[in-house]
Structure 1
Amino acid sequence: MDDVRLRGLGRHVERRHRSQRRLPRVWQLLVELIPVESPDSRGGTMSVLKAVLLVISLAGLIPAAASAQDLQGTLKKIKDSGTITIGYREQSLPFSFRGDDGKPTGYSVDLCQRIVTGIQQQVELPKLDVKWVPVTVDTRIAAVVNGTIDLECGSTTSSLSRQEQVDFSNMTFVDGGSLLVKLTSNFANLQDLGGKKIGVIPGTTTESALKSLLQKTSVTAQIVTITDHRGGLAALESGSIDAYASDRVILIGLAATAKDPGQFAIAEQYLSYEPYAFMMRRGDAPFRLAVNRVLSSLYRSGEIVQIYGRWFGKLGPPPKILIAMYALHALPE
């Protein structure tokens, strides 16, 4: 992510922790589990995160090497072919996107690369090739169901309706839907968008939450279909829409790529609760366990701190809800 200071975005990011009363109730409950942030400027929330993970790592056991015997399902397929196929998003910054070198990169991609290493060790392969397949909002679920990919590595929200078609790993991130607007719009709340145009990608949990919220608040905004995130930013820059709805962190990463990032702001209001996880085919418990074993190890060991810092460090310390998520999913062996 470019090293830029987003005037509007920075303001709202700094106020994020002071706006907990606006968070969904499930977030408020989890936040209460985490200690108060350290006032020490050298530590802060990141020190609290490290402390929590240290306690968790001491409580857990070092994972034992799993046997490659009696493999079945996806693990057997990977063992026999020597290849794992992973789906990724090309524009979902900073989680999963195509880098300047043309290769997949991002927070989710880093996690998936650790998963590949863990699976390679479990199936006892000297080398495991990775085939990266680009997927979109429209194709990602079908790609998992029909076997085109073994694992979807993007920014997909785990929901009960989606679990009717696919399985999900343990959570990898927690975010919330919000709105990207221009600073000159003087947007304060959703009611200010009455009669305005809001862009959103169809088929997303953000779209569903936005429509529901507009209906509940009787705001008569027009929803405009957007193909992808870059299209949403372009539409906002050109003035063809007045706001673009997506997950908060994605909006921040998207605005950072704009010609003039300082002209944008993130609304304080949350539209939804978005727990991210990786998709895989239903009914393959051994493969799901292999994926979750690596994720839990990352959370227990504290390596997740470095991965988070690489992609989100410039936005400030992790919110306490994310610390809670790491702690709750740092399962012992």
Structure 2
Amino acid sequence: MKLRKVTAAAAAALVLSLTATACGGDDNDSDSADTGSGGGDKIKVGIKYDQPGLGLKEPDGSFSGFDVDVATYVAGELGYEPDQIEFIETKSADRENALARGDVDFIAATYSITDERKEKVDFAGPYLLAHQDLLVKSDSDITEATDLNGKKLCSVTGSTSAQNVKNDFAPKAQLKQVSTYSECVAALQSGAVDALTTDDSILAGFAAQEQYKGQFKLAGLKLSNENYGIGVKKGDTETVNKINDALEKMVSEKAWEKAVTDNFGPADYKNEPAPKIGNIVQ
């Protein structure tokens, strides 16, 4: 809580007012969240803005996706109504810094839990186990990563996914790197490339979009394990514990399964069961 400077004459009144407002915070002085106690004016949540099915900013300014649904549920358990949530775009390269600076209170943005990241932030979860996979046209005969030899494989610049496929499975694959996954999907649709690779959850999100229904399929490969967690500022154990409780409740109330079906169902996404809190699949 932030307190104003007061005169001596107002000191007694201030002491009395502190008793009444200690939990809720001072509405005039701060609109940032107190995730330890909940119920503040706003809670700031980092998400992706450009991943259909996971975190997407719609043309009307609203937000949709599995990560958005999870974040909304968690914020509710922390004491915030949907209109008290401020979704902030948090790009992959800036996630740790955003938490350290206090730009966001937590991050739900396809944020894989790794040992390297755990040195900088704390994680609740995991709340989804994803895998690296391939997205191909619905009539494609590509069923294994080795089938990509001599084929054109798309991914985004800076991603290691496509290079991993070339190094480990298909050394003769022709890599095409572009700025966004949307460009890869467009290239796949036009036939300019034969496959797109990244996390299966991201691929399913694109395939589930209305304009792509029936055009694509996931190969169903499990080329890696990606344990999605909710990032919290390093050392904030109280918030981590509260988010973990919220995630467990979301699963037990079947809200987690509903969010999976709503966001990935049209792509026939073969999702893993909800992971156990703290169970990191290597």
Q: TM-score, normalised by structure 1?
A: 0.64
* Residue 131 of structure 1, CA deviation: 2.0
Distance 1:134 1:153 in 2: 11
* Matched ranges for 1:207-246 at <5 A: 207-217=159-169, 219-246=171-198
Q: Residue 154 of structure 1 is aligned with which of 103, 109, 129?
A: 109
Q: Residue 255 of structure 2 is aligned with which of 287, 290, 303?
A: 303
Partner of 1:265: 217
Q: Looking at CA atoms only, which structure, 1 or 2, has the larger radius of gyration?
A: 2
Distance 1:153 1:243 in 2: 27
Partner of 2:131: 176
Partner secondary structure for residue 188 of structure 1: coil
Distance 2:34 2:49 in 1: 26
1:193 counterpart = 2:148:
yes
CA pair 226-78 structure 1, distance change in 2 beyond 3 A: farther
Partner of 1:11: none
Partner of 2:55: 96
* Residue 88 of structure 1, CA deviation: 1.5
Q: Residue 66 of structure 2 is aligned with which of 107, 114, 126?
A: 107
Distance 2:78 2:63 in 1: 19
Distance 2:268 2:189 in 1: 26
Partner of 1:56: none
* Residue 314 of structure 1, CA deviation: 4.5
Partner of 2:94: 139
Distance 2:181 2:129 in 1: 19
* Residue 152 of structure 1, CA deviation: 1.3
Long gaps (5+) in structure 2? 1-21, 25-31
Partner secondary structure for residue 120 of structure 1: coil
- Name the structure where helix makes up a greater proportion of residues: 1
* Residue 212 of structure 1, CA deviation: 3.3
Distance 1:76 1:273 in 2: 30
CA pair 149-202 structure 1, distance change in 2 beyond 3 A: farther
CA pair 161-197 structure 1, distance change in 2 beyond 3 A: farther
CA pair 75-264 structure 1, distance change in 2 beyond 3 A: same
Partner secondary structure for residue 322 of structure 1: coil
| Aligned-pair identity (%) | 22
* Residue 170 of structure 1, CA deviation: 0.8
Distance 1:318 1:185 in 2: 18
Paired amino acid for 1:99 = E
Q: Is the 8 A contact 1:92 1:155 kept in 2?
A: no
Q: CA RMSD in A?
A: 3.4
Aligned positions, number: 251
